[in-house]
Structure 1
Amino acid sequence: MSMILWSILGYLLGSIPFGIAITRLLGLGDLRQIGSGNIGATNVLRTGNKPAALATLLLDSGKGAIAVLLARHFAGESAAILAGCAAFLGHCFPVWLGFRGGKGVATFLGTLIAFHWPLGLAACAVWLLTAVISRISSLSALLAAIASPLLAWGMGRNDLILACLFMVALILLRHKANISRLLDGSEPRIGRKD
């Protein structure tokens, strides 16, 4: 029963659409009608408001981390892993938005940091290095995600491999259109508004 409750709590935390809330609060319009229509930080950046994008990034990361840390504190490591995965699922498929959510990258990274901070920072480093070289957010996200189970294994955190694989599968699914554009060379670069 405890695991079910922590999964529900994690899902509900993850499903809070901070990108939409922030852009509406700042009078930037409906985020789902801007750029890619995605509710995450990369699309908020397309509004030209960098502080709003940063706030979205931090809050989307934080909701995954908070789900993990709360569950770990009150119910242990297994509940923490489950709550983190549920928060990630909530971001990708939020009940409040008809299950049409974001691509999960910030929530994924925040969840990884809370799972095991060296793993999270290593995945962030993969994202950052790829972003600096390619200036393509989706490619950075995909490589960071794909690297995560390998990094978990290399750090001796075999208990996190399954959670990483679950999140990788959803990130690949949510980035299906991006993968097609990457293959044909039409994927937009970081900072472009269209």
Structure 2
Amino acid sequence: MECGVETLLPLVVGYVLGSVPFGLILTRLTGAGDLRAIGSGNIGATNVLRTGKKGLAAATLLLDLGKGLAAVLIVRHVWPGAEALAALAAVLGHCFPVWLRFKGGKGVATLMGVSLALAWPIGLVYAVTWLGVLFLSRISSLGGMSAAVVAPVAAAVLGYAPYVPVLALLALLVLYLHRENIARLRAGTEPKVGSRK
């Protein structure tokens, strides 16, 4: 029973923290409207940027990252060894929040947060990859997907093998949630950062 509780509670903590829709909350509080009716309808920072409010987009990015970071660090402190469960649940919470009928974001910023919390070198590689690809391509989805794919590879190479399975699973989730972006990338129609489409 105790083992079951120690598995369930980290999942609950991770999911609840991850499911807080900061992008939606911030845009509503600042009068920017319902984010789900803007641009792609996504609740993440890239879509917040389409409102024209760069500061709001930056805040959304940091908060989405922060909730993933917090989920893993809290669980590591209370239930040492269960941080991978919290990482998984936090990203799932962001992507499938019960409060929004399981229609959330695509997990890129929250995955960066959990990567940093699991092991900062993994998070550093994630951040450099994301920002580097974004800088070169100006395509947010390409940067995010590249970072997600690199994370489990970085974990394996840098000696964090226990985190490879969860990061690989989350990378697959991020790719799946970006399937429409992938189709647009192949067609050459994926919008670049700053576009309101």
After the TM superposition, list the runs of 4 or more consecutive aligned residues in structure 1 that deviate by more than 2 angstroms: none
Structure 1 gap segments, 5+ residues each: none
- Counterpart residue type for residue 117 of structure 1: W
Partner of 2:44: 40
Equivalent pairs counted in the alignment come to 193
- Residue of structure 2 equivalent to 1:87: 90
Give the aligned partner of residue 186 of structure 2. Answer: 183
Deviation, structure 1 residue 8: 0.8
* Amino acid of the structure 2 residue aligned with 1:190: V
**Equivalent pair of 2:68/2:90 in contact (CA under 8 Å):** yes
Superposed, 1:12-161 pairs within 5 Å as 12-77=16-81, 79-161=82-164
1:47 & 1:29 partners in 2: Cα distance?
Answer: 9
**Matched residue of 1:48: which SS?**
coil
Q: How many angstroms apart in 1 are the aligned matches of 2:169 and 2:66?
A: 19
Q: Shift of residue 2 of structure 1?
A: 1.4
Cα deviation per residue 1:25-76 (whole Å; 9 max; x = unaligned)?
0000000000000000000000000110011001100111101000001111
**Structure 2 CA distance, aligned partners of 1:93 and 1:182?**
24
Letter in 2 for 1:179: I
Contact 2:22 2:64 in 1 (8 A): yes
1:169 to 150, 168, 172: 172
Identity %: 52
Which amino acid is 2:145 matched to?
L
Q: Secondary structure of the residue that 2:93 maps to in structure 1? A: helix
RMSD, aligned α-carbons = 0.6
State the Cα distance separating 1:193 from its structure 2 match. 1.5
Shift of 1:185: 0.2
Q: C-alpha displacement at 1:158, in angstroms?
A: 0.4
Unaligned stretches of 5+ in structure 2? Answer: none
Find the aligned partners of 2:6 and 2:61 in 1 and give their Cα distance: 29
Distance 2:10 2:164 in 1: 20
CA deviation after TM superposition for structure 1 residue 9, in Å: 1.1
Contact 2:126 2:147 in 1 (8 A): yes
